[in-house]
Amino acid sequence: MTTVNRQVRLAKRPVGRPDDSTWEITSEPIPEPSDGEFTVKVDYVSLDPAMRGWLDDVKSYVPPVAIGEVMRTHAVGRVVASKNAKFPEGQLVSGQFGVQEFALSDGRGALAVDESLAPAPTWLGALGFPGMTAYFGLTDVGRLEKGDTVLISGAAGAVGSIAGQIAKLKGATVIGVAGGPEKCAWLTEELGFDAAIDYKSESVGKALRAAAPDGIDIYFDNVGGEILDAALARLRKNARVALCGAISGYNATDPQPGPSRYLSLLVNRASMTGFIVFDYLDRFPEGMEAMSEWIRAGEIVTREQVETGGVEAFGRTLNLLFDGANTGKLVLKIS
Amino acid sequence: MTTVNRQVRLAKRPVGRPDDSTWEITSEPIPEPSDGEFTVKVDYVSLDPAMRGWLDDVKSYVPPVAIGEVMRTHAVGRVVASKNAKFPEGQLVSGQFGVQEFALSDGRGALAVDESLAPAPTWLGALGFPGMTAYFGLTDVGRLEKGDTVLISGAAGAVGSIAGQIAKLKGATVIGVAGGPEKCAWLTEELGFDAAIDYKSESVGKALRAAAPDGIDIYFDNVGGEILDAALARLRKNARVALCGAISGYNATDPQPGPSRYLSLLVNRASMTGFIVFDYLDRFPEGMEAMSEWIRAGEIVTREQVETGGVEAFGRTLNLLFDGANTGKLVLKIS
């Protein structure tokens, strides 16, 4: 068995799109647990659009990843050595283990993973932060109510695909925006969305007028940019915009224009509210219970796109997000 | 006594700034009340930035003023003929009487005015819609709490000047943005604002960093544009932006850029919420009681800029708002 732990560290802050010079692969001995700690052999790491923000040296909701630091991420793996009774050897766990083959944990933020409910990668998707982001973004920030018309961008992504299904389960009419006919077909044919708009081949504003002639009550925004403006133009009275992300501009090097239709918020007495899923940590039990029930009952379709290649493949896999080249939750198999 | 009622009617929808061609003065006989109605001799009419929006033929929170229609506005005047027992002859009343010398009313939306509390023009300002806009915008939309740091743009205007004083009375630190040294001095020396930023002579962003080093909890926005972006850049966690207006762009003929810093809402879990004071009509008693108490106790400074010249002066007086040439509530004396 190997004694080496290979890691992906931030080598250089990217300007625009991350590339090979952004990352370096380092090696160090596999860490040994002290009292209260355990060592995890990482099986899968999560790739998320928010990671791009963590690479910039700006004040944000979390400190940036430091130059030379192991890239921050959630991961799932198996305990291979333990001095922590809660996480014995052999236990599958999720936690913020970073992009590396082995991680040391004191158990904070770690969660025992129940493989009988769903396979490991799902615990980084529907049963992980993306699922909780969808759940609290819709129910709490979006104040979802039965009968609402809900628009979701990035709808074939990890968060959007779950958000749309939750909205359907709660009695909403759901319209998704995604890129390409395959993703759109997946939304309507497999996930039960009422309509899907392919932003690559049609005018979102025009398609939205057709799909939601009376306007929308909730816009769950993962992308920003022109699609946000198209959504603002269709708000109903008292609509809610839940700002989850803005991936369309994450790699931009020029200042991005703001939503020029923002005064629709005024005319429609609507709100636009940003949120960060970390703020809901103490309500995760509620969200996890709901999600587990839906998964157990087969009411939510979960999908992960599992890329392979280990730590060396991290940089290229991350960029799939910015190319819109993933459907469902993007994860990278490490071991 | 005259038998003629002169009126300001919308002649042509303005493109950009309203001008002489926008309005026409018409004359007709003074209306006689039928059963349940009364005739008001109008003393003062209100001039408000929102009027500009009513001139455009677009779907909004109220229908546009029609071509040929008497210009919509709130006004104060005295009942000169009445077949409505609630509003007898001689009573001073406020209501949506339009820009004209005499108006017919069935009493809907009309309010008996108590001159012992404040003179007639104040009933179009602090005790009228601007005062209620300030009150509900801050307390309900802004969810004002003691200790908050509150930024107000258009701070020397009808709404802003009252909003700032309410915020002070409720225990907030208050910073106003206004144009020119006289307005700024009025804010800090007479209204008790903690700081004032003169957007015409200094960088709002820089001045705001100095005045609110720890950021702001509430931004009460009357102006939009660059000042909105400067405010977004200084939001604290869970901050609230109350969107009341955006006068900086009301006469623009080009599409106006949106707030490019809007993702500050996401990072700071903040919200931006539009509101229309008309939605609070059934809570006006609460707001009017609070405002009356403050005025009675001398705790709120009210100020009206009373222009003269009657109906002929309406167009020129309205444009004072867009030139930033008013301090406090702008009204026009009609009779």
CATH code (residue A199): 3.40.50.720
Which residues does chain A have within 8 Å of residue B260's beta carbon, measured at their own beta carbons?
A: 255-258
Distance of alpha carbon B272 from alpha carbon A152, whole angstroms? 19
- Rg of chain B over Cα atoms, rounded to whole angstroms, equals 20
Distance of alpha carbon B269 from alpha carbon B250, whole angstroms? 29
The verdict on a CB contact (< 8 Å) between A265 and B243 is yes
Does residue B152 lie in a domain region? yes
Taking only the tens place, the pLDDT of each residue in B44-70 is 999 999 999 999 999 899 999 999 999
| Cα of B230 to nearest chain A Cα, Å | 13
> Which residue from A79, A124, A130, A127 is spatially nearest to A106, judged by alpha carbons?
A79
Distance of alpha carbon A171 from alpha carbon A218, whole angstroms? 13
Does residue A292 lie in a domain region? no
The domain in which residue A16 lies consists of: 4-125+303-333
Distance of alpha carbon B65 from alpha carbon B278, whole angstroms? 17
| Cα of B310 to nearest chain A Cα, Å | 31
A223 shares a domain with A108: no
User: DSSP class of residue B158?
Assistant: H
Which residues does chain A have within 8 Å of residue B244's beta carbon, measured at their own beta carbons?
A: 266
B252 shares a domain with B155: yes
A260 shares a domain with A141: yes
Q: Is B255 on the interface with A (CB under 8 A)?
A: yes
User: DSSP class of residue B26?
Assistant: E
Does residue B288 lie in a domain region? no
Does residue B108 lie in a domain region? yes
A238 shares a domain with A183: yes
**B76 has pLDDT over 70:** yes
- Partner residue opposite A268 with nearest CB, options B255, B272, B274: B274
- Candidates B266, B275, B276, B280, partner chain A, best to mutate (most A CBs within 10 A): B266
B116 Cβ contact partners less than 8 Å away, ≥ 6 residues apart: none
Distance of alpha carbon A95 from alpha carbon A130, whole angstroms? 14
Taking only the tens place, the pLDDT of each residue in B19-44 is 999 999 999 999 999 999 999 999 99
Number of domains in chain A: 2
The verdict on a CB contact (< 8 Å) between B274 and A256 is no
Tokens of B301: 């400074």
pLDDT given at position A3: 87
CATH number, residue B96: 3.90.180.10
Q: Is B231 on the interface with A (CB under 8 A)?
A: no
The verdict on a CB contact (< 8 Å) between B258 and A259 is yes
Given B232, B262, B278, the domain boundary residue is B278
| Cα of A238 to nearest chain B Cα, Å | 9
Burial tier of A81 (Cβ tally within 10 Å: 0-12, 13-18, 19+) = middle
A100 Cβ contact partners less than 8 Å away, ≥ 6 residues apart: A5, A6, A7, A8, A42, A70, A311, A334
pLDDT given at position A1: 65
B137 shares a domain with B12: no
> For A89-108, b where at least 16 C-beta lie within 10 A, e where not — what string?
eebbbbbebbbbbbbbbbbe
The torsion angles phi and psi of B123, rounded to 5 degrees, stand at -75, -10
B53 shares a domain with B82: yes
Q: How many CB pairs under 8 A join A and B?
A: 98
Across the range B195-209, mean pLDDT stands at: 98
A74 shares a domain with A153: no
| B141: helix, strand or coil | helix
B271 shares a domain with B167: yes
Taking only the tens place, the pLDDT of each residue in A68-106 is 999 999 999 999 999 999 999 999 999 999 999 999 999
**pLDDT class for B327, splitting at 50, 70, 90?**
very high
B258 shares a domain with B146: yes
Does residue A284 lie in a domain region? no
Collect contacts of A288-297 with beta carbons under 8 A, ≥24 apart: A288/A127, A288/A132, A290/A135, A291/A126, A291/A127, A291/A131, A291/A132, A291/A135, A291/A162, A292/A117, A292/A127, A294/A165, A294/A166, A294/A169, A295/A117, A295/A118, A295/A122, A295/A126, A295/A127, A296/A117
B181 shares a domain with B40: no
pLDDT given at position B2: 78
The torsion angles phi and psi of A88, rounded to 5 degrees, stand at -75, 165
Which residues does chain B have within 8 Å of residue A269's beta carbon, measured at their own beta carbons?
A: 61, 273-276, 279
Question: Is residue A103 a contact partner of residue A82, using CB atoms and an 8 Å limit?
Answer: no
Q: Which residues of chain A have pLDDT under 70?
A: 1
The torsion angles phi and psi of A248, rounded to 5 degrees, stand at -60, -25
| B149: helix, strand or coil | strand
- Candidates B209, B226, B262, partner chain A, best to mutate (most A CBs within 10 A): B262
B273 shares a domain with B134: yes
**pLDDT class for B79, splitting at 50, 70, 90?**
very high
Taking only the tens place, the pLDDT of each residue in B111-159 is 999 999 999 999 999 999 999 999 999 999 999 999 999 999 999 999 9
B285 Cβ contact partners less than 8 Å away, ≥ 6 residues apart: none
Across the range B176-194, mean pLDDT stands at: 98
| B90: helix, strand or coil | coil
ipTM rounded to 2 decimals: 0.95
B215 shares a domain with B99: no
Given B278, B293, B318, the domain boundary residue is B278
B282 Cβ contact partners less than 8 Å away, ≥ 6 residues apart: none
Q: Is B244 on the interface with A (CB under 8 A)?
A: yes
The verdict on a CB contact (< 8 Å) between A265 and B256 is no
Q: Is B63 on the interface with A (CB under 8 A)?
A: no
Across the range B242-258, mean pLDDT stands at: 94
Does residue A298 lie in a domain region? no
pLDDT given at position A202: 97
Question: Is residue B225 a contact partner of residue B249, using CB atoms and an 8 Å limit?
Answer: yes
Tokens of A39: 């060592």
> According to DSSP H, which parts of chain A are helical?
51-54, 129-136, 158-169, 181-185, 204-211, 225-232, 264-267, 284-296, 314-322
pLDDT given at position A22: 98
The verdict on a CB contact (< 8 Å) between B272 and A255 is no
